[in-house]
Chain A
C-alpha cells in the first residue's frame, strides 16, 4: 500500500498535466522584478562624488613616469605657463603648450630667453623628482631668473590641507 501511494504521488502531476494540457498555459509565470531604485540611488551618489571631486578648467601638467613630485598641503593652484622639467644627466626639457624641447644646461639660457620673448610669460614652473638634488634644480632657477622671468614656481602634488 505504501509503495502504491508513493508511486501515485510521484506520477500524479505528470498525469494531470497530460490530461489537461491547456491548464499549464494558464499558469502564472513567475515574475522577477529587479529593484532599480537602489541602483539609481547608488549611481546618483557616485555621480555627485565624481562631480565634486572633479576639477574643471584646471591647468594640467604632464608628469613623466619615472618622476614623483613632492607632496605639499599649502600650495597654490597650477597655472598654464612655461615648464622646465629637470631630467637626469643635466638635461632640461622646456614645455609650453604642446611644444617640447630638451636641451643641455649650457643651452638652457638661450632656450628660456627665446620662450620668454615669444610668450611674454613672467613665471616659469620648475618640475623635478622629489629625490633630485638642489645642485640639479639650481641651474633651472638661476637661468630662469637671468632670462627675465619674474617668478619661479616649484611644481608639487597638491594635498588637502590638514
Chain B
C-alpha cells in the first residue's frame, strides 16, 4: 500500500522584500529628518497705545534689569504684600540657579504674578537674555516682555 505523502507545515517567509522596504524607509527618513529643532520665545510687548489711564493701577510685575557686567537686579513692582527678601535682589553674572530659585520663591508666595519685564543692557548677550526668559518661563511667567534700549 502506498503511503500518502504529507505536506510539510514548515514554510519560509521571504524577508528580503520586507528588508528592502525598511531600508528605503530608513534612508528616506535619514535624509529628510531635521535634527535641530528651532523654537521661539514670544515676547509680549506693550505698545504706546496700550498705556493705562491715569487712574488705572498697573498690574504687579517682575523687572529684571541686566547690567553690562552680566549681573542682574530683580525687583517686584506694584506688589506690597511681599517679604522684604523677595521685593528686590541682586544676582551675580551667569548665576542662573539663583535666578530660578528667586523666581520659584516669588511664584510660591505670589502665584498671580505673571508679568516679567526684562531690561537688558547694551552689552547683554542674546544668550543671557534668552536664558533669563527660559528660567522665567519655567516658573510659569506667562507674559514676558523686553524693554528696548
| A interface residues (Cβ-Cβ under 8 A, vs B) | 36-37, 39-40, 43-44, 46-47, 50-51, 53-55, 58-61, 63, 69-70, 72-79, 123, 125, 128-135, 137-138, 141-142, 145, 150-158
CA distance A72 to B44 in the complex (A): 18
The answer on a CB contact under 8 Å between B138 and A73 is yes
Give complex CA distance A64, B74 in Å.
34
Which of B34, B36, B39 has most chain A Cβ within 10 Å? B39
User: B38 touching A134 by the CB < 8 A rule?
Assistant: no
Taking CB atoms, residues of chain B closer than 8 Å to A132 are 125-126
Please, which residue of chain A has its CB at the minimum distance from the CB of B33?
A: A54
Interface contact A53-B120, CB-CB below 8 Å = no
The answer to whether A134 and B40 have CB atoms under 8 Å apart is no
- Across the interface, do B148 and A44 meet the contact criterion of CB distance under 8 Å? no
Which of B22-30, B81-89, B108-116 lies at the interface?
B22-30
Docked pose: A54 CA to B43 CA in angstroms: 28
The answer to whether A73 touches B134 (Cβ under 8 A) is yes
Question: Counting CB contacts under 8 A, is B71 at the interface?
Answer: no
B56 is an interface residue with CB less than 8 A from chain A: no
Q: Which 9 A-B pairs have the closest CB atoms?
A: A75-B39, A158-B39, A130-B127, A74-B137, A135-B122, A153-B40, A50-B29, A43-B22, A158-B37
User: Which residue, B32, B41, B137, has most C-beta atoms of chain A within 10 A?
Assistant: B41
Tell me how far the C-beta of B139 lies from the nearest C-beta in chain A, rounded to whole angstroms.
10
Q: Which residues of B contact A125 (CB under 8 A)?
A: 40
Q: Is the Cβ of B40 less than 8 Å from the Cβ of A154?
A: yes
* Pair A72/B41 contact, Cβ less than 8 Å: yes
Is the beta-carbon distance between B19 and A54 smaller than 8 angstroms?
no
Number of interface residues of B (CB under 8 A): 42
How far does the Cβ of A124 sit from chain B's closest Cβ, in whole Å? Answer: 10
| CB pair B123 A157 closer than 8 Å | no
Q: Is A155's CB under 8 angstroms from B29's CB? A: no
Structural contact, A133 and B124, CB atoms closer than 8 A:
yes
Contacts of A54 in B (CB 8 A): 29, 32-34
Partner of A74, one of B26, B37, B125, B138: B138
Task: Say if the beta carbon of B77 comes within 8 Å of chain A.
Answer: no
Question: Are B41 and A142 interface neighbours, CB within 8 A?
Answer: no
Contacts of B80 in A (CB 8 A): none
User: What B residues does A151 contact at CB under 8 A?
Assistant: 42-45
Query: Is the Cβ of B146 less than 8 Å from the Cβ of A141?
Result: yes
User: Is A156 a contact partner of B41 (Cβ separation < 8 A)?
Assistant: yes
Distance (whole angstroms) from the CB of A59 to the closest CB of chain B: 8
Are B43 and A134 in contact, CB atoms less than 8 angstroms apart? no
